[in-house]
Structure 1
Amino acid sequence: MAYRRQKSHAGHLRRDLEFKQGNKVYLKISPMKVVGRFGKEGMLSTRYLGPYEILQRVGTVACELKLPSELASVRLIFHVSMLKKCISDPESIVPIEGLGVKDNLSLEEVPVQIIDRQVNKLMNKEVVSVKVL
């Protein structure tokens, strides 16, 4: 009885992944391989690489990707569970020319007004917090 009830609820939010030739996808990578190749560990580690183009479908659950030459040692065929669809909208890309972004991709923020000031007392210190507009 419980098995039938669990089974009826199990697949409602699941959706089949469908990719077509020419779609762009991100490739999910293993956390252990990330530390060795990219040097970051923990929450800031890279989870997806890409986007890469799908060259062709191989069977019903695998796709062949067009990978760059840096990943020449990696197989080209991946299961669809390792892929995440890349949804790119050219209109959502903001040009950086008018934003005042410097060459090192930093943005200088100019404070307008101090809204609130607060002093927090710790055991033997006083820490000042300032809210700036």
Structure 2
Amino acid sequence: MDMRNRELEFVVGDKVFLKVSPMKGVMRFGRKGKLSPRFIGSYEIVWRIGKVAYKLKLPSEMAMVHSVCHISMLRLYKTDPSHVLTHEEIEFNEWLSYKEEPIQILDRQVRRLRTKNVASLKVLWQTQNTEEETWEAEEDMNKIYPHLFSITDDMVVGNPCEDHIIPLGSY
């Protein structure tokens, strides 16, 4: 008998939660990182396909998501209205995620390591319902979002934010 595996079986008509895979740097359902939900739902099982797959009845907003799921992606839903997360106001792609867009660069700092200096930017992000500020590597941001670094006539020539050099270990 294998103590790590458990016999898991659902019947047609059961309500289940659908597992959402975490991805680094992606905001899901209004939360980012550890606080993002791991399961969404509840969804009804329409029929069983083999021993380990089930077809779910998904809402029309989730038409781009494949409705047949492996048993490992499902958790039994125990009736409680506080468990349900609404998803009507959220637009997401087939991976159940969406992309954040940077609005502007708020600050810049340079951290001095032993052999090099690492520039970081404080970026204001626009998500579907919220704004969020994070520190990102300047090199990566310049590659992905070069439009944030273009100089226009109304900008002051030079860096409006002074560079803050922070020795390693003092932050």
TM-score normalised by L of structure 1: 0.54
The 10-residue stretch of structure 1 (11-20 or 55-64) with the greater mean CA deviation from structure 2: 11-20
Stretches of 4+ aligned residues off by more than 4 angstroms: none
Please list the CA deviations of residues 18-55 of structure 1 after superposition, one character each: whole Å capped at 9, or x if unmatched. Answer: 00000000000111299355342112101101010000
Which residue, 55, 59, 80 being the options, matches 1:64?
Answer: 55
Deviation at residue 70 of structure 1 after TM alignment: 1.0
Q: Percent identity?
A: 53
Which residue, 67, 83, 97 being the options, matches 2:74?
Answer: 83
Counterpart of 1:74 in structure 2 is: 65
- 1:89–1:53 Cα change, 3 Å: same
Counterpart of 1:49 in structure 2 is: 40
SS at match of 2:26: helix
Q: Is the Cα contact below 8 Å between 2:27 and 2:33 reproduced in 1?
A: no
Aligned residues: 81
- 1:83–1:33 Cα change, 3 Å: farther
Q: Which has the higher helix share?
A: 1
Q: Is the Cα contact below 8 Å between 1:34 and 1:40 reproduced in 2?
A: no
Q: Rg larger in 1 or in 2?
A: 1
Q: Which has the higher strand share?
A: 2
SS at match of 1:55: strand
Question: Which structure 1 residue ranges, 5 or more long, are not aligned?
Answer: 1-7, 91-133
Question: Which structure 2 residue ranges, 5 or more long, are not aligned?
Answer: 82-171
Deviation at residue 83 of structure 1 after TM alignment: 0.1
SS at match of 1:32: coil
Counterpart of 1:40 in structure 2 is: 31
Q: Is the Cα contact below 8 Å between 2:58 and 2:67 reproduced in 1?
A: yes
Query: Cα RMSD between the aligned structures?
Result: 2.4
